[in-house]
Structures are given as C-alpha cells and as structure tokens.
A and B are shown apart, each in its own frame.
Chain A
Amino acid sequence: MTIAPIVRTVRVKAPPARAFDIFASQMGRWWPTGKTIASKPHVEIVLEPRPGGAWFERDADGEETHWGKVIAWDPPRRMLLGWQINSGWRHDATVQTEVELTFAPDGAGALVTLEHRDLERFGADADKMAGLLGNGWPGFLHAYAGLAGAHVQQGEGS
C-alpha cells in the first residue's frame, strides 16, 4: 500500500540560504506553540545541523522530547529529516517517515517545498497496534486524542 506524500510549498522574502537558516536554527521561534508532541509547551526546538543530528523539543523545565533525526544536511538547498513520530503521536524510533525540505531561489526570495513521504509506514505502525494496545487502553485513547487534536486535551490548570 502506498499513500500519496504530503507536499506543501510556501514563498518567503529571504533568499534560500537565509530561509534555510531561519527554518533550522530558529524552529522553536516560528513553530506554532501547542503544535508539538510533548505534554508541556516548547521553549526551544533543536535541529542539530549535521547528518545523524538529533531533532527534539525542550520545555521550560529542560525536559527534552525527541522528534527524530537529520538524515541529510545540504545547506542552503536541502535538508532531509527523519520524522520518528508514530500514529499515536509519540516518539518512536522504529517508525520513521521522511520530511524533505528544499529551498529554491524565487526572485529575490525563496520557494520552500516540504514533502512528507513514506506515509504507508504508519500502516506498518497500524499493524503494530497490538503493541499499542499492549500498553493498555490509555495508549489507544491517546492515539485517538492525538488524531482529534486539542479536542481531548486537558488544560494545564494554570
């Protein structure tokens, strides 16, 4: 089974090298708050700028939650990231899908293209739902809560 990759493009005023740098080194500043996988909001998102580098978010307490890793690092034109977040919205190094970013010149700015592919690997993950259920009913509820977004999230109480 193959699932069509997600392809999204966006234009920015900065040229490719600058856009690449902002994307990678200031991810925690532009990434929408609340759209991450940890239980607490992120204060930083780190993308270590080298093949094999880690990709993780860090909350105000210094707690780190891993997202995946850098597969290829070719500034200013391309980065290939391993998205190790499973369909239960948890970090899982055994389920890796690929997210490729390309930064192409576009006038004075850049055209940024994102492709998230190998989505059928979530299918292998779905087949492993037995394992998810093995973690008990809460694990499965969490999977659906993840799919339903903030719908089921509880407030932080402050």
Chain B
Amino acid sequence: MAYQSAAAEALSALADPTRRAIFERLAAGPSAVGRLAAGMPVTRPAVSQHLRVLKAAGLVAETAQGARRVYRVDPRGIGAMRDWLDDHWATALDAFATFADQQVPETDAP
C-alpha cells in the first residue's frame, strides 16, 4: 500500500540523527531555519538541506510568513491514517456481513 512506501521513506529520512533532531524540534512547534540552526552543531545551509529531505519524505511542511519560511510537522500522516481506516472499515464490515449472513436467520421470509 502507498503509505508503506511513504512510511519507509519517512523512516529512512529520520535515520540521520541530525534530521531526527530537527524533526523533533519541529514537533515541539513550528520554527524558522535561523531559530532551528541556533544551538545546533551544524550550519544553517546544512539545516536547510536536511529540511529539504524531510519535506521530500512528507514529514515537514513549509509556509511563507512574510519574508521568512516557517517549517512545521506535516499533518499528511493523517491522510495515511484515513486511508488505513478506510481500508480497515471496508474489511471489517465485509467480515461482519459475511458472519451475519451465516447466522441462522431469525426472520420471516419477505
């Protein structure tokens, strides 16, 4: 299923400790590159590069706020959740119908 590869891509992107640190900072709240880079042992361009990878993996989204770009955790994971649930309910309801129809009918013929 699609989100399996999406999940694999996300995990691969997060295998890098610096990217993981950046992602965890963003999970705590949206931030601009400058603030992210401050206090990290990597340069600002390096942080930007990591953000591009995180964005490509669907983990991080960016929005323009005036002249600066603000990064945040991408809620697209919710989309994957919805797809999963949709499949899940289709399977569950089919199983229910199959089981119910196997039960001895307690109903009169129409």
Contact = CB atoms under 8 A, between A and B. Distances in A.
B45 interface: no
Contacts of A147: 3, 7, 77, 80-81, 84
B78 A10 contact: no
A58 B43 CA distance: 52
A22 interface: yes
B20 to A, nearest CB: 8
Interface stretch (A48-56, A61-69, A121-129): A121-129
Given A126-B73, A141-B11, A13 B101 contact: yes
B81 A122 contact: yes
15 contacts: A3-B82, A12-B96, A12-B101, A15-B107, A22-B99, A31-B96, A87-B81, A108-B108, A108-B110, A112-B93, A112-B97, A122-B82, A130-B24, A130-B28, A148-B7
Interface of B: 1, 3-4, 7-8, 10-11, 14, 20, 24, 27-29, 73, 75, 77-82, 84-86, 88-101, 103, 105-110
